[in-house]
Amino acid sequence: MTGSEEDNNAELTASPQSEKKCRGEKHVSFPPDEEIVSGFAERKDLLRDVDSITLKEIIASYKQSCEKHQVEPKPKLLEQLQIITDLHSRVRCLDLKGERLDYQACESLEGLLKLLQYEFINLQEAELDENGASALFDMISYYESATHLNISCNKRIGALGWRSLSHLIQQSSCLWRLDACNTPVLEYPAQAMSRALQSSRLAVLHFEKTCVSGRPLFTLVSALKLNTALQELYLADNDLNSFQDSMQLGDLLKYNHSLRVLDLSNNLISDTGLEDICEGLKVQKTGLRKLVLWNNRLTFKGMTHLARALPSVASLETLNLGQNILHNKGIQRLKDALIVNRSLLQLGLASTKITCEGAVALAEFIAESPRIQRLDVRKNLIRAGGLMALSLALQINHSLIRVDLDKNVKKEKEEFLVETQKTVLQEIWNNCMRNAAAAKHRMTSSAHSDQG
């Protein structure tokens, strides 16, 4: 995933440094018009004439800013500045993870951010407070400082911080990824993010463990139904339930056809919630490519809903159902739908309580599928009989290039069956290597043909 880096068209506003902040309110003083215009021109010159700036000057600028705000320069930051070798493009990373950034420390960073732009700014576990977060996000917005921003594990951002973050997301022409994991997104933050997502260029959003269940999810989904930029949404570990939350996710899939990845790992969707999600999945003709339902209390009963949706889904390439108690019955209910579906490339079934009987059903699917490339069946009790079925299917199949199986053989009643397992595991690996080599040859031949 890459983000666009278009030319900046910043508003003619005062620099973030001109804003005075106090807890509970923000006062903004605007200088005369000629100072606004000259400040804007100065910023453009800084970003354009990077050849005229030396690393020594950048370090000096940061130290002077620290002195002005009466804070000590961060040794970790100074070490990172010392190893920069290219000032002609964005620096790879500004890593401030675990560094305590109070308001003054955040303000001191302007001496750096006005001279350097980064691909990735990591503010994880930085103990940002409301005023500091607001000041820093304003700077990052004003100077187009990052294409990827991580603010995870900052629980005291406050209303001002979320408002500034919303403005950053709306205004930035280069920010394409935001990580805000383990950062509570309650009612006001959800409203701020909803406003931002209506017009942002953000392509990837990580909202794992953010308490977005209930009304916050409703607020976010309302905006995402109309969003055409976001391509990857990660909502793991949010206690999303099988009632209102699943209905909202189903509606999201009904109305949003730009989303490519939806990760719902470690939630409480269950079979009832899966039915709502599948109703939305049925209308995904050209959109969703990856759906992760890992550890969602699904059972074989929920596979009935999924079996109804899969034949009509033309875009889904990756489906992960791992860590759900599906049993063999669940695989049998899915088998025919998997055979009919012609888009699936990767199927995750690790730790789903399947045995040889389930492996035989999967072998029937593999033998019929011209597209499947990877199958994960680790942490299942598949013995010699199931492995032999998979091996026989691979003799017919020419697309499967990876089968994830447990390395250690399973216990058998007869010793010769243990040896059979070892032999068949090697056969499966050899057939996957055969398919991989053939696929590589086809790609090489196609590339040569295109060049010709």
Q: How much is the pLDDT for 327?
A: 98
pLDDT exceeds cutoff 50 at 34: no
- Count the Cβ atoms, other than its own, within 10 Å of residue 204: 18
Residue 346: both structure tokens together: 């990767």
Which tens digits make up the pLDDT trace of 410-434? Answer: 888 788 888 899 999 999 999 999 9
Q: Please, are residues 99 and 49 in contact by the beta-carbon 8 Å criterion? A: no
Residue 401: both structure tokens together: 């290039």
Region label for 144, one of left (φ > 0), alpha (ψ between -120 and 50) or beta (otherwise): left
Which tens digits make up the pLDDT trace of 66-88? Answer: 999 999 999 999 999 999 999 98
DSSP conformational letter for 262: E
Q: Please, are residues 210 and 239 in contact by the beta-carbon 8 Å criterion? A: no
pLDDT exceeds cutoff 90 at 21: no
pLDDT exceeds cutoff 70 at 141: yes
CA distance 276 to 248: 8
Mean of pLDDT values over 214-220: 96
Q: How much is the pLDDT for 27?
A: 42
User: Helices 384-396 and 415-451, interaxial angle, to 10°?
Assistant: 20
Q: How much is the pLDDT for 138?
A: 97
Residue type at 44? K
Which tens digits make up the pLDDT trace of 313-342? Answer: 999 999 999 999 999 999 999 999 999 999
Q: Are strands 19-22 and 25-28 parallel, antiparallel or unpaired?
A: antiparallel
Q: Please, are residues 40 and 8 in contact by the beta-carbon 8 Å criterion? A: no
pLDDT exceeds cutoff 50 at 11: no
Q: How much is the pLDDT for 3?
A: 44
End-to-end CA distance of the chain: 29
Q: What pLDDT band is residue 2 in, cutting at 50, 70 and 90?
A: very low
Helix (H, G, I), strand (E, B), or coil: what is residue 202?
A: coil
